[in-house]
């Protein structure tokens, strides 16, 4: 986002309302993802796809996001943060309808291209506004905001679990969900901060390389988001195909994963304040690795669901801390945040495709073995998130502390 945010003054009440509004936006965004994830098996069957073909289709959200995410800053620059977020979020909620309508591989790829593009742009816009609210409150809220995203994903996946259990058509399910979530999103966007660029401000470039700090931090975020994307989109398929579970129980595995993510993120700000970013992420990496191994070795659905739950618990706070670390590293925090957002978000969109391709060549068990290896990467790379520990140097609202040096391994 390229608004001159430091020149815009908001009252304490406006910032407080904006915090609740952006939290609702995060929840709506997550609910779209949860609604889609639980119906992936239905969409696969409806389009008549193999695991490999599904993996190809699930690559298109990554393509759409990669092409569209750089446009989010330019859209916010032109229309202001509130109008931009309102339009991008509505595009995302309505895009939920498209995948379930696709009757074959080609149309599903096209639908997921639009789905990914709208997801990426709205994600960048809402995270940028979340960081702005955090700076004005002068306290950590990003983990809580991502916790609200997970709560939304939990609600969306829970509704999807019920729909799958009763055998509801995903097309009807997603139309209803899209209409409800669009209405909630439009209401929430009325209270977000309305940041606008100065009249003579230069428009941001459509593409810029992220700084070195963002690449290092993004590598750790990549590991966490890969595990998250793989679990959200493939946990239900894993239980159905590998452990021969019912459609309802398979969908419930996605709900279990989303539940642990939500609980851990909501409590994340306090945990990080007490134990520090590095220790928190390393401990989480151990839990996520154990969870991945449990999924691979599980002889039944219950143990596999426990494994997915441990993975959700272990990776929950990594992405919020990656954004926090990026915002306090180097000389250009906005550029670093955008770079980390691109790396981590693209990871989540690439993961389902990579899991499907590897499953086609080997098996889903081997695919989640790779997820376990990447989860262990959190243990090794946690040190780069040291800057995610919030240290405020001034009590004045909206004045962040000084940026630390480049993150260290």
pLDDT in the model for residue 21: 96
Task: Report whether pLDDT(407) > 60.
Answer: no
Q: How does pLDDT run across 376-398, given as a tens digit for each residue?
A: 999 999 998 876 555 443 333 34
Task: Report whether pLDDT(258) > 50.
Answer: yes
Cα→Cα distances 146→29, 139, 263, 268, Å: 10, 15, 10, 10
C-alpha 325: how far from chain center: 17
Task: Report the chain's mean pLDDT, rounded to a whole number.
Answer: 84
Q: Are 115 and 101 in contact (CB under 8 A)?
A: no
| Environment class of 4 (CB within 10 Å of its CB; exposed 0-12, middle 13-18, buried 19+) | exposed
C-alpha 1: how far from chain center: 18
Q: Give 267's DSSP letter.
A: T
pLDDT in the model for residue 118: 94
For residue 328, which phi and psi values (nearest 5 degrees)?
A: -120, 20
Q: Give 104's DSSP letter.
A: S
How many Å apart are CA 120 and CA 72, to the nearest integer?
8
Closest by CA to 96, choosing from 175, 155, 160, is 175
Please give the torsion angle defined by the CA atoms of residues 281, 345, 208 and 406, in that order, rounded to the nearest 10 degrees: 0
Q: How does pLDDT run across 146-166, given as a tens digit for each residue?
A: 889 888 988 998 899 899 889
How many Å apart are CA 347 and CA 299, to the nearest integer?
29
How many Å apart are CA 34 and CA 174, to the nearest integer?
11
Q: How does pLDDT run across 39-97, given as a tens digit for each residue?
A: 999 999 999 999 889 988 988 887 888 788 778 877 887 888 899 999 999 999 999 99
**pTM, to two decimals:** 0.76
pLDDT in the model for residue 408: 33
Task: Report whether pLDDT(406) > 70.
Answer: no
Closest by CA to 287, choosing from 154, 367, 378, is 378
Q: Other C-beta atoms within 10 Å of 166: how many?
A: 10
CA count, 13 A, side-chain hemisphere, 200: 0
Q: How does pLDDT run across 329-351, given as a tens digit for each residue?
A: 655 555 667 678 778 877 876 78
């Amino acid at each position: 986002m390229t608004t001159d945010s430091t020149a815009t003054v908001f009252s304490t009440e406006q910032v407080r309302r904006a915090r609740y509004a952006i939290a609702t936006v995060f929840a709506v965004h997550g609910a779209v993802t949860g609604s889609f994830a639980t119906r992936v098996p239905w969409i696969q069957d409806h389009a008549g796809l193999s695991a490999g073909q599904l993996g190809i289709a699930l690559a298109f959200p990554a393509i759409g996001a990669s092409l569209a995410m750089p446009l989010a800053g330019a859209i916010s620059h032109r229309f202001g943060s509130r109008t931009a977020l309102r339009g991008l979020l509505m595009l995302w909620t309505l895009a939920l309808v498209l995948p379930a309508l696709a009757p074959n591989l080609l149309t599903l790829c096209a639908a997921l291209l639009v789905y990914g593009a709208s997801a990426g742009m709205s994600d960048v816009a809402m995270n940028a506004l979340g960081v702005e609210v955090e700076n004005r409150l002068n306290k950590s809220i990003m983990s809580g905001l991502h916790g609200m995203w997970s709560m939304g994903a939990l609600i969306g996946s829970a509704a999807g679990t019920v729909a799958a259990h009763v055998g509801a058509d995903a097309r009807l399910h997603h139309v209803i969900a899209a209409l409800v979530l669009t209405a909630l999103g439009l209401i929430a966007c009325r209270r977000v901060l309305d940041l606008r660029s100065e009249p003579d401000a230069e428009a941001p470039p459509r593409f810029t390389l992220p700084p070195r700090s963002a690449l290092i931090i993004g590598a750790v975020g990549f590991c966490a988001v890969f595990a998250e994307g793989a679990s959200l989109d493939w946990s239900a398929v894993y239980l159905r195909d590998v452990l021969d579970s019912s459609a309802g129980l398979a969908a419930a595995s996605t709900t279990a994963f989303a539940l642990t993510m939500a609980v851990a993120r909501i409590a994340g700000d306090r945990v990080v304040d007490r134990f520090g970013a590095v220790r928190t992420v390393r401990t989480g990496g151990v839990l996520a690795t154990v969870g991945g191994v449990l999924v691979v070795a599980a002889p039944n659905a219950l143990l596999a669901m426990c494994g997915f739950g441990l993975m959700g618990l272990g990776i929950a706070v990594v992405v919020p801390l990656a954004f926090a670390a990026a915002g306090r590293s180097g000389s250009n925090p906005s550029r670093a945040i955008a770079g980390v957002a691109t790396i981590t978000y693209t990871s989540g969109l690439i993961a389902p495709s990579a899991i499907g391709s590897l499953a086609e060549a080997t098996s889903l068990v081997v695919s989640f073995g790779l997820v376990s290896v990447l989860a262990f990467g959190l243990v090794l790379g946690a040190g780069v998130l040291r800057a995610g520990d919030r240290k405020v140097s001034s009590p004045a609202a909206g004045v962040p502390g000084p940026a630390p040096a480049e993150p260290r391994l």
